[in-house]
Amino acid sequence: MEIIRATADAITISLGPDDALAVHNALNEICNGVHLDEWDFQTRMGVDREHARKVLHAIGASISVMIEQRQAEGKEW
């Protein structure tokens, strides 16, 4: 993992395969595996479940691209 840039409005981070998978799995677990009422979810996570799921899907789609590119280059996932 490498922090590329941090500003008042955004953080740009470069995630390697293991980092991306860790973030994806953690979000998947909190969004789908652990039962929390919506108010408790938002209190603990700082965002609502819908927003967390959007981040989860975006990271999942990026991981799919990463897998395809690594396989095309003959790299292991």
> What residue spans define the domains of the chain?
16-72
What's the Rg (C-alpha) of the chain?
Answer: 15
The answer to whether 1 touches 14, Cβ cutoff 8 Å, is: yes
14-64 tens-digit pLDDT = 999 999 999 999 999 999 988 899 999 999 999 999 999 999 999 999 999
Name the amino acid, one letter, at 76: E
Q: How many CB atoms neighbour CB 23 within 10 A?
A: 17
Q: Which band of pLDDT confidence, cut at 50, 70 and 90, is reported for residue 77?
A: confident
- Give residue 28's Cα distance to chain centre: 8
Q: How many CB atoms neighbour CB 39 within 10 A?
A: 9
